[in-house]
Amino acid sequence: MLACRRFGFPSCILNRGDSLNIAPRVKTWLDRLEHGQIDIFRPEKGLDVDQLLETTAKAIIAARHPVALTGAGISAESGIPPFRGPGGLWTKHGEPPMNGFSKFLADPAAAWAERLSPRGPLKELSERIGAARPNPGHMALAEMEREGRLHCLITQNIDNLHTLAGSRRVIEIHGNARLVRCLTCVRRRPIDEISMAPLPPLCEDCGGLLKIDTVSFGEPIPPDVLTLCESESTRCDCMLVVGTSATVYPAASFPIDVKRRGGILIEVNLHESELTEHCAISLRGAAGLVLPAIAQRLKSARTVRT
């Protein structure tokens, strides 16, 4: 109960039905649980957060191919607002036009000029990303990877904070704001290394058009990244889903696919999301508090075993 007070989770939601549809190794582990612990899978019983964290850690340890999927919520504590909800960029500035990619293709020089002197939500987002540092949530995921508890991380974020925190296998499904990408050969480079005169910049390898690596509205996900995401989520039997409303596709389809194949979903979010009802474990709380608590549990499990 100490954890409950310390981390202040308002509630924890577990769906009993999920225990019937889980990966074989996790199922074996659940079958081995002592009677008292099984009770925490019943939402109608009072939940002890200490046990819940323990269960989360055990589910991750039992998984063959654990993968994390993160969204804007994990970077909120680094000062980068999400798009939606209270304090969201779109809540404040209104929704941007949804034709970013066709606008870019119609006039790449004008689109680059806008990108280099951004206004409105784009200006706020780029200033916040420029000033942001990884928070304990990013650090905890990097630690889990180092400790061999996470195979890789798929992020919808464009802010580079997972890499700055030390995560190595990071798949950026919506790109990275610090990179440019050639629309022809798909080679990526740091934006700082590219000459912006004249506009638009062109690829020095193939002469193709360079675009900021972040995926614009209406732009297909680059095939190299999409293939990686699909192969990782196909192998995944336990997905840790952090700070995402799970409303943006195709990223939102990965956890659903994991569950459909018999894997389990563990959610860390301040609020309920579209995914909550599909999750075996749903931890309500700030990622910067909950993830270090999970990492700590994983570490103690390792210490006990060795």
Residues that bind ligand NAD (CB under 6 A): 71-73, 75-77, 80, 82-85, 156-159, 174, 243-245, 247-248, 268-271, 273, 286-287
The two structure tokens encoding residue 90: 């779109």
Q: Report the C-alpha gap between 261 and 236 in whole angstroms.
A: 9
Nearer to ligand NAD, 30 or 153 (CB): 153
Burial grade of 218 (CB within 10 A; 0-12, 13-18, 19 or more)? middle
Count of other CB atoms within 10 angstroms of residue 168: 11
Cross-strand bridge partners of residue 237: none
Count of other CB atoms within 10 angstroms of residue 97: 9
Nearer to ligand NAD, 77 or 237 (CB): 77
Nearer to ligand NAD, 66 or 73 (CB): 73
The two structure tokens encoding residue 61: 């340890």
* Smallest gap from residue 27 Cβ to ligand NAD (A): 28
Q: Is 174 a catalytic residue?
A: yes
Nearer to ligand NAD, 216 or 244 (CB): 244
Give the angle 299-77-65 at the CA atoms, nearest 5°: 40
* Smallest gap from residue 245 Cβ to ligand NAD (A): 3
Nearest residue to ligand NAD on Cβ basis: 73
Nearer to ligand NAD, 247 or 300 (CB): 247
* Smallest gap from residue 66 Cβ to ligand NAD (A): 19
* Smallest gap from residue 121 Cβ to ligand NAD (A): 9
Q: Report the C-alpha gap between 88 and 84 in whole angstroms.
A: 5
Burial grade of 59 (CB within 10 A; 0-12, 13-18, 19 or more)? buried
Query: Strand locations in 11-151, DSSP E?
Result: 12-13, 66-70
Considering the candidates 138, 151, 174, 278, report the single residue annotated as catalytic.
174
Q: Report the C-alpha gap between 176 and 275 in whole angstroms.
A: 25
* Smallest gap from residue 152 Cβ to ligand NAD (A): 17
Angle between helix 287-305 and helix 136-146 axes, rounded to 10 deg: 30
State the catalytic residues.
174
